[in-house]
Amino acid sequence: MALPVGLRRQPANRGLVSRCTHHHVVVFLLTFFSYSLLHASRKTFSNVKVSISSQWTPSCLNSTAPELRPDELWNSNRLFPNAEEATLFLGTLDTIFLFSYAVGLFVSGIVGDRLNLRWVLSFGMCSSALVVFFFGTLTEWLHFYNKWFYCCLWVVNGLLQSTGWPCVVAVMGNWFGKAGRGFVFGLWSACASVGNILGAFLASCVLKYGYEYAFLVTASVQFAGGVIVFFGLLTSPKEVGLPELGADEDAVVEEDANRPLMGSDDADDDDRNYSIQAADTDNQPKAIGFFQACCLPGVVLYSLAYACLKLVNYSFFFWLPFYLSNNFGWKEAEADQLSIWYDVGGIIGGTIQGLISDVLQKRAPVLAISLLFAVGSLFGYSRSPNSKPINAVIMAITGFFIGGPSNMISSAISADLGRQDLVKGSSEALATVTGIVDGTGSIGAAVGQ
Amino acid sequence: LDLSNCSLHSVPPELAEATAAIVLDLTENPLTTLPNGSFLGFTHLQLLAVPPALECPGGSDAWQEVTVDGSSRRCQGQKNPCNGSTDLAWLCPENSACAPDGPGFIQCLCDNPFHGYKCLREGTFPVLLFGGILGTATISLSLLLWGTQRRKAKTP
């Protein structure tokens, strides 16, 4: 089978350049930014935690001092008696969000497959934007503070946001196919980190007007993005009559499986949903049972490792601005701007470590070394001094060492498992396995909260 | 406001509504004590007359002149507690400033550009400007993309 594979390899590489139409560019940019916006609105919540918790609690002075007057200016909001309880509730909200997000991921892949991807994605973006608006802005404008209301809204938000990733990945899979996946996906999967940076930037600009405006800005930009996606996205080349990808590419699966996906945390999900789409063109996908998939060598190990990693990653993601402003007394807007460096480190780390492991053809050593350094840098970070430049540098280094292995594990899964004899050619097994890993990861993150 | 000789045994709670009073007379009432917060909000009060057994609210430091004659104690000229020697003024949190709230009482009001709960918010967000820019950008991008991308789309 060597000759046909070699022959087919050439056209795929040439084809990557030749078939890049303006449609491809637009699809790339639209999916990139729609996922970035979803991530940005998640990030907004983490960035305004300090403001929200001071909004929900009365002023706290030493017990000997008399209470501040006027009462409605300083003490009237007693949703939580003190800042510690408010923080606990904020952590609970994060956990709820992650759990409903994990559940939603399972459902959304199936839904997106059966319904039009464009409708699902724009519906998800617009309705998630509305929910975030209710959560942050409307409750403040109406001065309606209620714990159950917040919890319910956040559960719904988790479910709606989970529609984003499967849809964007499926659309990218339709347009870019397996051959160009290595390079294009590597570039594309920076979208989550870009979203974080965008969210942090927007929030820090608007925070001085009140945290409700941070939510308003990200929600309305996300809504606008949903509208633009609805009008401008072509879910597959079929829609404009271009040839469908995938028919001539089964033979290059093996080479591509070796190429690491420089994906973000959730890159493994892209395989699951990409393969659901490709199942139409494959003749007979041999699905593998859930328990069989678990018993494949390395799956359990990778799942647990990924769970631990995702725990750390999401702890940083959700709590970094809060920690910075509480520990060092920095203003919340400055803490937000500094937390951007963590994501920058993550982007660089994912790219460079992917390249290194690609060159070395070995993943485990790179992973192990990077995680060791990650431990060291986390330790160093907890001792970092009260100085912004030094803190930013250490934060970037930490992001480098945590984001790197995170991406690598998700890409290593697709590569190594695709090579195993039991599941060669069975794309559904890949989906199940990566679904297990990502689900475990999310649960690990949720538990960590 | 003249409440003298009204047989008041205790300060009536309705007194709290009379915060605009400049002169208040409570003499010749069998009052035993003035509860601590009775004169909250009486920022205009310049002359207060109480039975001689009672102290001026806020203590003698809160008034410019305290005179006692046979039937009454007169507290005259309410001093601004924020300027005074008392060390209450530092209590006000960030972005707020001390303001008088009655004899010996202070309140913390927000400094000028700050407003809202706990004086956390500064300035007003230009909602209309933001909405206008975003709306225009959305509409133009949508039209542009629809024209170049989806117009030729055949629904599968």
Q: How many domains does chain A have?
A: 1
Answer with the residue of higher pLDDT: A264 or B44: B44
The domain in which residue A130 lies consists of: 22-57+79-241+296-448
Using alpha carbons, select from A177, A173, A255 the residue that is nearest to residue A5: A255
* CB-CB contact of A222 with B131 (8 Å): no
Q: Looking up tokens 């060492």, which residue turns up?
A: A401
Same-domain pairing of B115 and B92 = yes
Using alpha carbons, select from B6, B98, B114 the residue that is nearest to residue A210: B114
Same-domain pairing of B58 and B96 = no
Using alpha carbons, select from A295, A189, A180, A290 the residue that is nearest to residue A245: A180
Choosing among B145, B151, B152, B155, which should be mutated to test the A contact, i.e. which has the most A CBs within 10 A?
A: B145
Same-domain pairing of B56 and B21 = yes
For residue A196, the tally of other CB atoms under 10 A from its CB is 25
* Residue B5 in domain: no
Q: Looking at the complex, report in whole angstroms how far the Cα of residue A206 sits from the nearest Cα belonging to chain B.
A: 8
Kind of pairing, strands B47-50 and B23-25?
parallel
Question: pLDDT confidence of A265, banded at 50, 70, 90?
Answer: very low
With 70 as the cut, is the pLDDT of residue A354 above it? no
Same-domain pairing of B107 and B137 = no
CB pair distance less than 8 Å for A208 and B107: no
Same-domain pairing of B103 and B135 = no
What are the CA-CA distances from residue A198 to residues A124, A338, B49 (Å)?
19, 13, 64
* Residue A255 in domain: no
Same-domain pairing of B40 and B69 = yes
When mean pLDDT is compared across A259-263, A294-298, A400-404, B100-104, the lowest value belongs to: A259-263
* Residue A203 in domain: yes
Q: Looking at the complex, report in whole angstroms how far the Cα of residue B123 sits from the nearest Cα belonging to chain A.
A: 6
* Residue B3 in domain: no
A328 membership: H or E segment, kind and range:
helix A299-328
* Residue B8 in domain: no
pLDDT, residue A282, reads 36
* Residue A251 in domain: no
Q: How many domains does chain B have?
A: 3
Same-domain pairing of B26 and B71 = yes
* Residue B96 in domain: yes
* CB-CB contact of A240 with A157 (8 Å): no
With 80 as the cut, is the pLDDT of residue B46 above it? yes
Answer with the residue of higher pLDDT: A259 or A131: A131
CB pair distance less than 8 Å for B141 and A232: yes
The domain in which residue B45 lies consists of: 13-78
For residue A419, the tally of other CB atoms under 10 A from its CB is 12
Alpha-carbon distance of A363 to A410, in angstroms, equals 11
Contact partners, residue A438, CB within 8 Å, separation at least 6 = A105, A266, A268, A269, A306, A410
CB pair distance less than 8 Å for A233 and B149: yes
Choosing among B122, B138, B146, B154, which should be mutated to test the A contact, i.e. which has the most A CBs within 10 A?
A: B138
* Residue A422 in domain: yes
Using alpha carbons, select from A388, A281, A269, A243 the residue that is nearest to residue A327: A388
pLDDT, residue B102, reads 79
Q: What are phi and psi of A78, to 5 degrees?
A: -120, 40
Q: What are phi and psi of A177, to 5 degrees?
A: 60, 180
A42-57 confidence digits (pLDDT tens) = 888 888 888 888 888 8
CATH number of the structural domain spanning residue A328: 1.20.1250.20
A391-446 confidence digits (pLDDT tens) = 888 888 888 888 777 766 655 555 455 445 444 444 444 555 555 566 666 777 77
A269-314 confidence digits (pLDDT tens) = 433 333 333 333 333 444 455 555 556 666 667 667 777 777 777 7
* Residue A131 in domain: yes
With 60 as the cut, is the pLDDT of residue A378 above it? yes
Instruction: Tell me the whole-structure pTM to 2 decimals.
Output: 0.73
Interface confidence (ipTM) of the complex: 0.77
A214-234 confidence digits (pLDDT tens) = 999 999 999 999 999 999 888
Same-domain pairing of B59 and B96 = no
The conformation of residue A137, written as its DSSP 8-state character, comes to: I
With 60 as the cut, is the pLDDT of residue A15 above it? no
Same-domain pairing of B26 and B53 = yes
Q: A242 CB near a chain B CB, below 8 Å?
A: no
Q: Looking at the complex, report in whole angstroms how far the Cα of residue B94 sits from the nearest Cα belonging to chain A.
A: 12
Alpha-carbon distance of A119 to A166, in angstroms, equals 13
**The pair of three-digit structure tokens given for residue A117, joined into one six-digit string:** 């991807």
* Residue A270 in domain: no
| Three-state secondary structure call for residue A431 | helix
Alpha-carbon distance of B3 to B21, in angstroms, equals 12
Q: Looking at the complex, report in whole angstroms how far the Cα of residue B6 sits from the nearest Cα belonging to chain A.
A: 31
Cα torsion through A222, A226, A232, A233, rounded to 10:
110
* Residue B98 in domain: yes
Residue of A nearest to B123 (CA): A209
* Residue A125 in domain: yes
* Residue A247 in domain: no
A vs B, Cβ pairs < 8 A, gives: 103
Question: pLDDT confidence of A319, banded at 50, 70, 90?
Answer: confident
Q: What angle do CA A229, A235, A239 make, to 5 degrees?
A: 120
Among left, alpha and beta (phi > 0; psi -120 to 50; other), residue B104 is left
* Residue B7 in domain: no
Q: What are phi and psi of A437, to 5 degrees?
A: -65, -45
| Three-state secondary structure call for residue B72 | strand
